[in-house]
Structure 1
Amino acid sequence: MGPKRFILEYWRLILLLVFVSVALVALFIPGGIMADDSYVDDESIDDNPTNLEYGLGLDGGTRISAPVVGMVAEDIETDATDEEEGSVDRERLTEIESALYEELDLDTGNASVDHDDSGNVHAEVFTDEVTEEEFAAVLSDETGHEVDPDDDVRDGVSDQTRAQMVDTIGSMINEAGLSGGDTYESEQVGGEHYVVTEVPDMDPDELRELLSDRGIVEVVAYYPDDDGQANQTVLEGDDIATVDPPEPSERGSGYDVPVEVDSNAAPDFQEDLNDLGFTDEGQQMCSLEPDGDTVDFDHSDEQYCLLTVVDGEPIDAHSMGPELGNNMNQGEWASDPSFQMGAQNQQQAQGLSVSLQAGAMPAPLDFSEEQTYSLSPALADQFKLYSLLIGGLSVLTVSGMVFLRYRDVRVATPMILTAMAEVVILLGFAALIRMPLDLSHVAGFIAVVGTGVDDLIIIADEVMDEGDVSSQRVFESRFRKAFWIIGAAAATTIIAMSPLAVMSLGDLQGFAIITILGVLIGVLITRPAYGDILQRLMTDK
């Protein structure tokens, strides 16, 4: 038999072997076929010989669900939208946003005016210190269109902001090196939306502290004027293009975070510092001292300080150095816009680095309505052991029943091996996409073993039900009939599980996803391969 004919004859079995081989590589080779293997290190290999990641139920950790603080007015009428051209005037939206900050006396990051893909404008404030009436009044005055606080304003935030919250928190978790963490939206009964964050091996207080920091980073110029000392924000976190790891400061104490400013923001930053005097008489004119985690502003002489401010709190102050100041004064710095942001200790520097890389959370979370689930790592290890024991017991039980039913190793052995291959492929897929496995996924794997063997039994019974199957034509006819039955059952399972897989229903979602994937792998790969194996063993071919 030539190679071409061999492939044509055994392509289903070859496909199964290819999928199993790829799954084994994904499972056991560190960084084998993953897009990013930077998280793999010697310690993680010692703790976990596979590339599988575990969720809260199998690794311990915390899940916090909380709504987003804010109120939103959607589809508001403004003169910023040109319906004929289908465009939106961004400068006009910025003017409306500035009016909200000024009239409502809001802190940085607590208001947003934006539009969706259809050009519909929405305005949001992210604080509970403003009433709906005050919010609506400012919008009415600024837009020239009546905004009713009862009909046009609601609690919560826009879908756009919620999606940005999920993306930012996810980036924050990744930048902080918290492997296996996950963030997603969940809609509660009654229509309220929650942002759910899961992080393995972290207690509730640590996770709550992480989520409490919005990561709004600013560089504020603190300089003398006619009234004493003044503040002016000269750079925001969004203006930072790249961030390098923190390093000990050359000033002798504290830490520095090297950053590169976006080329579009660099000229304005340079011009502001030149205009405020930082690059000439203000060089090395800052003597503010640390006071715990903040800065002591008790001084009698003039100060030219660049303050690193995170979430409204100054964490460090430093002078303009001669080299940086001279480059800015001569207008050369903007062509290579890099400098260092300061922090008093390594923890602050690491938090600053994470905030700059992940970006600022657009709104705070309301922890007064949080829902918390926490599991200790010791108990999670027990669950992991019990899951392994239950999985092995289910395999042994199914194997015993299959052998009792057929008493023919030609039928039973391929059936068990095929069912196990299905689980290996699923585990390899989970390792490949770095899906954190939880107890719900374990339940899904057990269900996949049960339904998979059910389907294989249907194939075996249908093929052997009417006696002799030595003829290939008779075997194929009976196999097709059996495959229609299991195909219809698979379609029913997928339809039934699909709502659970797409809706944010917690653990039920993981169970549904694994079950659907198992059914698809079974119908498309393992069931046809089992048919090929059975045909070679039972017919004269």
Structure 2
Amino acid sequence: MGPIAFAKEYWRILLLVTFLGVALVALFIPGGIVADDTLAAENESVDDNPTNIEYGLGLDGGTRVSAPPVGMTVDHLDIEHDEQQQVATALYTYDYENADLEVRDATVRFHENDNRFSAEIFSDEVTPAEFAAALESADVGLEVDEDDVEQGVTQQTRDEIIQTIELRINEAGLDGGSAYQEATLGGQYYIVTEVPGMSPEELRELLSDRGDVRIDAYHPDEDGEQTNETVLLGEEIADSGVASYDDERGQHYVPITVDNTEGEDGNSPASEYQGAMNDLGFTGEGQGRCHIQDREAGEFDFDPDDPQWCLLTIVDGEVIDAHSMGAGLAENMRTGTWENDPTFRMIVPTQQDAHHLAVNLQSGALTAPLDFDREQTFTLQPALADQFKLYSLLIGGLAVMTVCGMIFLRYRDPRVAAPMFLTAMAEVVILLGFAAAIRMPLDLSHVAGFIAVVGTGVDDLVIIADEVMDEGDVNSRRVFESRFRKAFWIIGAAAATTIIALSPLAVLSLGDLRGFAIITILGVLVGVLITRPAYGDILQRLLTDK
């Protein structure tokens, strides 16, 4: 038999072997199917986890924090596209009684799907009445009442928050973490963040920072008085590196590249930053003149009578470092060549500050802050999670042994029982390989799904075996195929019913039930498309005459 004929004859078995091989690579080869140096290094350093499987909170310990975004929304604004920015400006320039808003604290969005505008304010210091009044102050003919204001933020804002949190988790090197939203019965949305191996205080600190980064110029004005002026915003930074240290200068820093893409006015953020440095004197008389920071004490002395030119690194409104313009950078800006390669270092006092700054630059700022006064926190100690991991392994092994015993008691024929058991185990390995390949953190709910997959999988294989052996031994391939097709229709209908029944659980945000549903549905699909047909081929080769 040639290779092509062999492949045609045994293609179902070859398909099963192929998927099984790919799953084993994803499970045990460092880096998995797609090379991942970080994951490979972790597997080399973690002796008790020889696989690429990641674990969630229930099996690894960690923290889950749920908190709603801070904000209010007015939907279906009756404005035109050219009035959008005018309304947004009115929102953050309005004279609120207890709030002093910045540009990032308010926005007006256009929703293309249903051709509507909505306005949002991300502050808990603004009242609904003030929000409505701020919209009317835009002078575009809006009539907004306090009753039109809804608590919460739009879906687009929630999506942006989740994306930013996921980037922060990844940039911080926190494997197995995830962020998603959950809806309450009252229609309120919570942003849920899960990170294994992290304490509640650490996770809350990661989430509580808005992540707004900017550089301010502290310099003398025309009257000789010290003043602050923002010269570079975080969104104008095109790329940033990792936290680094300069041994020669003894500086912790993050290398950044400023965006040099020209805007509608013909200027780029890089050229505007270069121009500001030249105009404000940082590349001339102010070069090297900054001594307001006591690095040992971590204090700043902003003396209005002492002329200085300092570049302030500010994160969430807090000055974390102040430094002067370097001679080489100043020369490049004076000659106008810096904007062609707009890179420099953002200097900070400590390695921790550098890492924190790098994470914020890579992930960006949270669109809206989270309300930790209404947070819900769940934490599990790693020692207890290790016990759950052990118990899950024991329960899984007990389920396998029980199924194996019942199979042999039922058939007492190794030609039927052995392939059935091996096929069922192959299905579990394929699912584990899939989880390792996509780096899905396995939790207790997933373990329950695996046990359900073993049970339903063997149940389908029993249907196949019983159907083809219903009237005694089968010697004819034609008879076998006829009976197998009949059995396959039965298990196919059962699989469709299972998928339909569990689909709502897999789609809706129902916590641990979602993980159970996803694994069970994947197991059913793998079984119907790969393992059940392969078992039928194996059974046919063993029971029929060739």
Is TM-score (shorter-chain normalized) higher than 0.5? Answer: yes
| CA–CA separation in structure 1 for the residues paired with 2:273 and 2:201 | 38
Name 1:128's counterpart in structure 2.
124
Matched, 1:265 2:262: no
Matched, 1:228 2:232: no
Name 1:277's counterpart in structure 2.
281
Q: Provide, for residues 192-232 of structure 1, a one-character-per-residue CA deviation record: whole Å limited to 9, x for no partner.
A: 11111000100101100110111100001111123722111
Most deviating of 321-330 and 420-429 = 321-330
SS in structure 2 of the partner of residue 302 of structure 1: coil
| CA–CA separation in structure 2 for the residues paired with 1:47 and 1:399 | 28
Most deviating of 503-512 and 94-103 = 94-103
Name 2:264's counterpart in structure 1.
none
Name 1:444's counterpart in structure 2.
449
Matched, 1:38 2:42: no
Name 1:52's counterpart in structure 2.
53
Matched, 1:386 2:391: yes
Which one-letter code corresponds to 2:122 in the other structure?
Answer: F
Which one-letter code corresponds to 2:85 in the other structure?
Answer: T
Once the two structures are TM-superposed, the CA of residue 251 in structure 1 deviates from its matched residue by 8.3
Q: Is the 8 Å Cα contact of residues 224 and 307 (structure 2) preserved in structure 1?
A: no
Matched, 1:287 2:270: no
User: Which of 166, 170, 179 is matched with 2:162 structurally?
Assistant: 166
Which one-letter code corresponds to 2:28 in the other structure?
Answer: F
Unaligned runs of 5+ in 1: 82-88
Name 1:9's counterpart in structure 2.
9
Most deviating of 202-211 and 218-227 = 218-227
Which one-letter code corresponds to 1:115 in the other structure?
Answer: F
| CA–CA separation in structure 1 for the residues paired with 2:208 and 2:454 | 43
Name 1:190's counterpart in structure 2.
186
Once the two structures are TM-superposed, the CA of residue 284 in structure 1 deviates from its matched residue by 1.3
Name 1:107's counterpart in structure 2.
102
Matched, 1:530 2:535: yes
Q: Is the 8 Å Cα contact of residues 290 and 344 (structure 1) preserved in structure 2?
A: no
Most deviating of 434-443 and 465-474 = 465-474
Q: Is the 8 Å Cα contact of residues 169 and 177 (structure 2) preserved in structure 1?
A: yes
| CA–CA separation in structure 2 for the residues paired with 1:532 and 1:275 | 80
The normalised TM-score by structure 2 is 0.94
Q: After the TM superposition, which residues 330-341 of structure 1 pair with which residues of structure 2 at under 5 Å, given as runs?
A: 330-341=335-346
Q: Provide, for residues 51-101 of structure 1, a one-character-per-residue CA deviation record: whole Å limited to 9, x for no partner.
A: 00000001100000110001112221223x2xxxxxxx4xx5334323222
Q: Is the 8 Å Cα contact of residues 124 and 157 (structure 1) preserved in structure 2?
A: yes
| Shift in alpha-carbon separation, 1:124–1:21, aligned structure 2, 3 A | same
Once the two structures are TM-superposed, the CA of residue 21 in structure 1 deviates from its matched residue by 0.5
Q: After the TM superposition, which residues 364-383 of structure 1 pair with which residues of structure 2 at under 5 Å, given as runs?
A: 364-383=369-388
Q: After the TM superposition, which residues 38-437 of structure 1 pair with which residues of structure 2 at under 5 Å, given as runs?
A: 38-41=38-41, 43-79=44-80, 81=81, 89=82, 92-103=83-94, 104=96, 105-107=100-102, 109-118=104-113, 119-225=115-221, 226=223, 228-249=225-246, 252-263=249-260, 264-290=268-294, 295-298=300-303, 300-437=305-442
Percent identity, aligned pairs only, is: 63
| CA–CA separation in structure 1 for the residues paired with 2:426 and 2:67 | 40
Most deviating of 269-278 and 158-167 = 269-278
Once the two structures are TM-superposed, the CA of residue 3 in structure 1 deviates from its matched residue by 1.9
Unaligned runs of 5+ in 2: 261-267
Name 2:263's counterpart in structure 1.
none
Which one-letter code corresponds to 1:188 in the other structure?
Answer: T
| CA–CA separation in structure 2 for the residues paired with 1:241 and 1:69 | 28
Q: CA RMSD in A?
A: 1.7
Once the two structures are TM-superposed, the CA of residue 313 in structure 1 deviates from its matched residue by 0.2
> How many residues are treated as equivalent by the alignment?
531
| CA–CA separation in structure 1 for the residues paired with 2:31 and 2:293 | 46
Name 1:27's counterpart in structure 2.
27
| CA–CA separation in structure 2 for the residues paired with 1:248 and 1:93 | 44
| Shift in alpha-carbon separation, 1:501–1:290, aligned structure 2, 3 A | farther
| CA–CA separation in structure 2 for the residues paired with 1:204 and 1:471 | 65
Once the two structures are TM-superposed, the CA of residue 45 in structure 1 deviates from its matched residue by 4.5
The normalised TM-score by structure 1 is 0.95
